[in-house]
Amino acid sequence: MSHSTAGELAREQQYVAKLYERLDVLRVRTRGQLDGVLAQGAAGGTHQNRSERDSFADMYATRLARLWAVENGLCFGRLDLAEGAAEPDETRLYIGRLGLSDDDQHRLLIDWRAPVAQPFYRATPAAPMGVTRRRHLHTKGRTVRTIDDDLLDLDGLSDADRATLNGEAALLAALGETRTGRMRDIVATIQGEQDKIIRSDLNGVLVVQGGPGTGKTVVALHRAAYLLYTYRDRLERRGVLILGPNPTFLRYIEQVLPSLGETDVLLSTVAELYPGVTARRPERPEAAAFKGAARMAEVVARAVQDRQRMPRQTVEIKLDKFTLRLDRQACDVARSRAVKSRRPHNAARGVFVRQLLNALTKQAARHLGRGMLNDEDFADLREDLRTEEPVRAALNRLWPYLTPQQLLIGLFTSPERLAYAGLTPAEAALLLREPPRAGESWWSEADVPLLDEAAELLGDIDENVLRAARRAEEEREQQLAYAREVLELTGMADIMDAERFAARQQAEETYLTTAERAAKDRTWAFGHVIVDEAQELSAMAWRTVMRRCPTRSMTVVGDIAQTGSTAGALSWANVLDPHAAGRWREARLTVNYRTPVELMSVAADVLTLVDPALKAPESVRESGEPPWARRLAGLSELEEVVAESQVPGGKLAVLVPEGLTVDLPGAAVGAGLAALEAPVSVLTVAEAKGLEFDAVVIVEPGRILEESPRGPSDLYVALTRATRRLGVVHTAGLPSVLTGLDQRTR
């Protein structure tokens, strides 16, 4: 290290130490404010006093959580601006995870999302945006380890400045690190094309199309943080939903937003979007694809109509003293009134029942010899009839209350109902199933959009009753959870127990965060929705997602070339035009930050099998390790191959075709937390989608290629998961597209 660099490092250390000092002061101060509010107690005062106190407590608790979240890498950059490009005392800006000012309101640190921080990510030598130098500070704990400078305007620098330049290495250093099994934030090294997407306008649907490793996921997450910062009021109220392909992927990305100080975001999968249903049953790909097709909306609608069909014969209702009759015409009139009301099935039932009860009441009056009734008597008699069991039973048979679950179970277990819904016997066979048995998990991921569709058409049975029941059940639980959180955060857990704290809250007060409230409510409309691996969503899944976002403020990220699901997308226009025609725009990411050049050139060959017109993204770096292929006498040799391929301290994935089991002692098998944490995991391509590993060994690529109509896409995904090493092993022949690989014998 040169003398001047050492001096520069010491100066930066001094500044960074000052920032941490300020952070500590703010933590103590905010903690004091929170304690002050909590000490006022929650029991006394008017309702308004209490709710004001609670919002302050909430605000301080959130602020405190944010101040703690930014401990690592608090400050990671510095911008030196040319004279004239900034106010005289603002020519040097430090950029960090949040904004800090001193008590005199002098800015000490700029939040990376603030407009003035934008040149840190966008300035280039060709368009320096007034920046003379961009400096990256690499810290460990509170210590500045190294600094890297990008020189943007040589003329603007003094001789002394020139002597301290280090050159750009921050990005490559970040990319070269071994993987931890969890995605990290990239706030210090966001690239220009990524920054444009992150800061793109909130309105409308932004599609981010990019090849593997171009940073779509990580960019989408930084965009969420940016939008929350920039439109905090609007988004905190309605919440932000991030949808990923499976729970393992959500675990992979879950730390990124908290590390950026944002915690109130709901991470979910489509399978979890229907509150109260756990969709765990595996589904045959043909059935899943069929259930995902847009036509299923019509099928579900027909299934509802099926439950509104009227019998041909007159319905007889035997009461003690006489028998009432509903003929076909009376039923048809009531049905058509109910349908014309345009209400969902369960709400329209009220119209239907009222109409028939009126008809029955008139009949009953005749039987009772009471020709003309005044309004009051008529209403009394109608009420008497309504509570008669035979009347209730008859009306229920004609137009039953239905939950979405009842509707779909009825449909999927009945060849007659499936036929009425418009399916051929062969199509019906894909859906036909045995009724649920106790404890069985009956629903699959592909069923969730159908339940959601049914819920729209049926409506709630009785909103108020349902809500009240749900609230009563959840109330105590919510209050306890909240109390625990607050007590833990404030370090008060040892002086007050959560039960007592919760007991002090009023019954009508709820303490759920926006994300938590939204997760429990099927009809919640989010302020912004981000869909990752969006190419995999079926047409029916898109209908479900769009219902969660009526404003269509969305970020949709994916890669059409990676579509593995047969119900998935083949073009963004196909997917989005039905829901947001004229309201979506596409941005592209073109640089691959994950996969080295050597691996990407093999993947590019496979991409031509997906579609010769597609172009693979450019890789930014080389690994110096050419990918290889090896023929094995048997899969028992795999253990040795894996041992040779591991990167010390890193993660390795063995990617296998669907249904192939391999025996690797100590390896984590299948999706789940272990897949992220174990040094070696065995996964199918679908399970590895969106993830990355230091090394990857692909087993029997020929089978992956042939096992589905989307085989080439699956192989492309498999080839692009590694950051350093890639090997392919096979006992059967090697697909011709891979014969260019280094052939190894051992």
Ligand X SMILES: Nc1ncnc2c1ncn2[C@@H]1O[C@H](COP(=O)(O)OP(=O)(O)OP(=O)(O)O)[C@@H](O)[C@H]1O
Return binding residues for ATP: 210-217
- Nearest CA to 363 out of 310, 326, 405, 415 is that of 326
Query: Is position 175 an interface residue for ligand X (rule: CB under 6 A)?
Result: yes
Nearer to ligand X, 156 or 679 (CB): 679
CB atoms within 10 A of CB 127: 11
Residue from 95, 147, 165, 218 binding ligand X (CB under 6 A): 218
Binding of residue 559 to ligand X (CB under 6 A): yes
- With binding defined as CB under 6 A, does residue 681 bind ligand X? no
| 538 is an interface residue for ligand X by CB under 6 A | no
Report which secondary-structure segment, H or E, holds 326.
Answer: strand 323-326
The answer to whether 690 contacts ligand X (rule: CB under 6 A) is yes
Segment holding 340, helix H or strand E: helix 328-340
Q: Which is nearer to ligand X, 108 or 188 (CB)?
A: 188
Q: How many whole angstroms separate alpha carbon 191 and alpha carbon 198?
A: 10
| Residue 593 binding ligand X, by CB under 6 A | yes
- Counting contacts by CB under 6 A, is residue 73 touching ligand X? no
Q: Which residue number is nearest to ligand X in terms of Cβ? A: 215
Residues 188-207 vs ligand X: string with x where CB under 6 A?
-xxx--x-------------
Contact yes or no for 658/288 (Cβ under 8 A):
no
CA 248 – CA 688 distance, rounded (Å): 9
Asked if 121 interacts with ligand X (CB under 6 A), we say no
CB-side neighbour CA atoms (13 Å) of 740: 11
692 lines the binding site for ligand X (CB under 6 A): yes
Can residue 623 be called a binding residue for ligand X (CB under 6 A)?
no
The reply on whether position 443 binds ligand X by CB under 6 A is: no
Binding-site residues, in ranges, read 210-217
Among 119, 156, 212, 596, binds ligand X (CB under 6 A): 212
| Edge-to-edge strand ranges of the sheet holding 652-656 | 668-669, 680-684, 652-656, 693-699, 722-730, 628-631, 742-744
Q: Which residue of 210, 404, 679, 701 would you call a contact of ligand X, by CB under 6 A?
A: 210
Q: Would you say the C-alpha torsion 46, 51, 52, 56 has a positive or negative sign?
A: positive
Q: Which is nearer to ligand X, 108 or 198 (CB)?
A: 198
> Which one of 55-63, 138-146, 214-222, 340-348 is the stretch in contact with ligand X (CB under 6 A)?
214-222
Span near ligand X by CB under 6 A; candidates 187-195, 387-395, 647-655, 733-741 = 187-195
Smallest distance from the beta carbon of 100 to ligand X, in angstroms? 24
Instruction: Out of 77, 96, 128, 213, name the contact with ligand X by CB under 6 A.
Output: 213
Compute CA 343 distance to the chain's CA centroid, rounded to the nearest angstrom: 31
Q: What are phi and psi of 566, to 5 degrees?
A: -75, -15
Of 62 and 194, CB closest to ligand X:
194
Q: Quick check: 363 binds ligand X (CB under 6 A)?
A: no
The residue within the footprint of ligand X, chosen from 64, 186, 267, 729 (CB under 6 A), is 186
Asked if residue 482 lies in contact with residue 516, where contact means CB atoms within 8 angstroms, the answer is no
Q: Site for ligand X (CB under 6 A): which residue of 50, 122, 136, 594?
A: 594
Alpha helices in 70-138 (DSSP H): 118-122
Beta bridge partners of 586: 207
With both helix axes pointing from N to C terminus, report the angle between 295-306 and 285-292 in degrees, rounded to the nearest 10: 80
150 lies in the binding site for ligand X (CB under 6 A)? no
Contact present, 697 and 654 (Cβ < 8 Å): yes
259 binds ligand X (CB under 6 A): no
Choose between 449 and 690: whose C-beta lies nearer to ligand X.
Answer: 690
Q: Compute the distance between CA of residue 205 and CA of residue 528 in angstroms, rounded to an integer.
A: 10
Residue 174 binds to ligand X (criterion: CB under 6 A): yes
d(CA 332, CA 339): 10
- Can residue 720 be called a binding residue for ligand X (CB under 6 A)? yes
Total number of residues binding ligand X (CB under 6 A)? 23
- Residue with Cβ nearer ligand X (456 or 559): 559
* Chain position carrying tokens 């109260």: 276
* Whole-number Å distance between alpha carbons of 735 and 448: 37
Q: How far is 93 from 424, CA to CA, in rounded Å? A: 68
Asked whether 125 and 152 are in contact (CB, 8 A), the reply is yes
Does 248 engage in binding with ligand X (CB under 6 A)? no
Is residue 512 a contact residue for ligand X (CB under 6 A)? no
Is the Cβ of residue 452 or residue 533 nearer to ligand X in the bound state?
A: 533
Report how far residue 406's alpha carbon sits from residue 307's, in angstroms, rounded to the nearest whole number.
11
Q: Under DSSP, is residue 239 helix (H, G, I), strand (E, B) or coil?
A: coil
Smallest gap from Cβ 631 to ligand X, in A, equals: 28
Binding site for ligand X (CB under 6 A): 171, 174-175, 186, 189-191, 194, 210, 212-218, 559, 562, 593-594, 690, 692, 720
